[in-house]
């Protein structure tokens, strides 16, 4: 099925959202991710996708989110330049995108490149090392949340993974709210790579226990992985 690549998210911090194709993810071995199948070494295909989808951006909300099934650094330089030019042309004042931990020393330069307030979302998923690295195979290691917060103000959490506990989830949410400016909470959705990884009971508990997060302006809760209107 063809992916939807342009969407409007008219909710908290309303924004336009574009899903581009990028070069292969630098890690590509997370146990739950099949979006990497959307990545390609075909630069012409990356360009054509960008041509078609970026042309749909109007700037109506003053905010733009661009994702590419990996990190923004895996978009060709020419595509990143086009995004920067589009931000200028459409009067966009705030930009959201994603980046993997291995690129953290480039984060500040990336923020400066886009010339507007830029938030690089890091897919932390959970601050529990055993689940993050042992179950999800993220290969992301740090001394603690403060080290992550020193590099970025925005993170993604994932809820409903086998091995997660309620206490882990409570701790992750507390860390997100206390140490980061923005958060996206994704309820885990099974896909072609992740059979057996989902904890449906934990997802149901989270939706009841943390229903109040719907009113938290700094946090987006995505019940489906297409919650931003793309994918």
The arithmetic mean of pLDDT across residues 198-208, rounded, is: 96
Confidence of residue 191 (pLDDT cuts 50, 70, 90): confident
pLDDT at 34: 79
CB neighbour list of residue 38: distance below 8 Å, 6 or more residues apart: 3, 19, 21, 69
pLDDT at 24: 95
214: which strand partners?
none
Prediction pTM value = 0.95
Confidence of residue 192 (pLDDT cuts 50, 70, 90): confident
Alpha-carbon distances, residue 203 vs 157, 163, 188, 200 (angstroms)? 13, 13, 8, 5
- The pLDDT of residue 194 is above 70: no
Q: What are phi and psi of 123, to 5 degrees?
A: -75, 75
pLDDT digits (tens, 9 = 90+) for 16-68: 999 999 999 999 999 888 777 899 999 999 999 999 999 999 999 999 999 99
Question: For residues 63 and 96, is the Cβ–Cβ distance under 8 A?
Answer: yes
Structural domains of the chain ordered from first start: 6-222 (3.20.20.70)
Tell me, letter by letter, the H, E, C secondary structure of 177-229.
HHHCCEEEEEECCCCCCCCCCECHHHHHHHHHHCHHHHHCCCEEEECCCCCCC
Comparing 28-32, 78-82, 155-159, 192-196, which segment has the lowest mean pLDDT? 192-196
pLDDT digits (tens, 9 = 90+) for 87-140: 999 999 999 999 999 999 999 999 999 999 999 999 999 999 999 999 999 999
What gap in Å lies between CA 172 and CA 155, rounded to an integer? 11
Which element (helix H / strand E) includes 63? strand 63-67
- The pLDDT of residue 1 is above 70: no
pLDDT digits (tens, 9 = 90+) for 162-186: 999 999 999 999 999 999 999 999 9
Q: How many CB atoms lie under 10 A from the CB of residue 18?
A: 25
* Two tokens, residue 138: 């993220």
Confidence of residue 196 (pLDDT cuts 50, 70, 90): confident
């Amino acid at each position: 099925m063809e992916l939807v690549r342009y969407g409007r998210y008219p909710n908290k911090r309303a924004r336009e959202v574009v899903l581009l194709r990028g070069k292969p993810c630098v890690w590509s071995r997370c146990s739950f991710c099949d979006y990497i199948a959307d990545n390609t070494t075909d630069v012409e295909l990356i360009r054509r996708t960008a041509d078609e989808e970026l042309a749909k951006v109007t700037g109506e909300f003053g905010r733009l989110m661009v994702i590419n099934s990996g990190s923004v650094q895996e978009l060709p330089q020419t595509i990143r330049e086009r995004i920067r030019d589009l931000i200028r042309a459409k009067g966009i004042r705030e930009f959201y995108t994603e980046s993997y931990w291995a690129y953290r020393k480039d984060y500040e330069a990336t923020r400066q490149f886009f010339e507007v307030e830029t938030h690089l979302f890091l897919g932390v998923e959970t601050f529990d090392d055993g689940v993050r690295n042992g179950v999800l195979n993220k290969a992301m290691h740090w001394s603690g949340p403060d080290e992550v917060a020193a590099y970025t103000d925005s993170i993604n959490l994932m809820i409903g993974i086998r091995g997660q506990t309620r206490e882990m989830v409570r701790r992750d949410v507390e860390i997100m709210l206390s140490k980061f400016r923005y958060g996206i909470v994704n309820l885990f959705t099974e896909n072609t790579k992740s059979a057996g990884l989902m904890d449906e009971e934990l997802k149901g508990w989270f939706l009841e226990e943390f229903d109040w997060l719907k009113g938290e302006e700094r946090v987006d809760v995505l019940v489906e992985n297409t919650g931003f209107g793309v994918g």
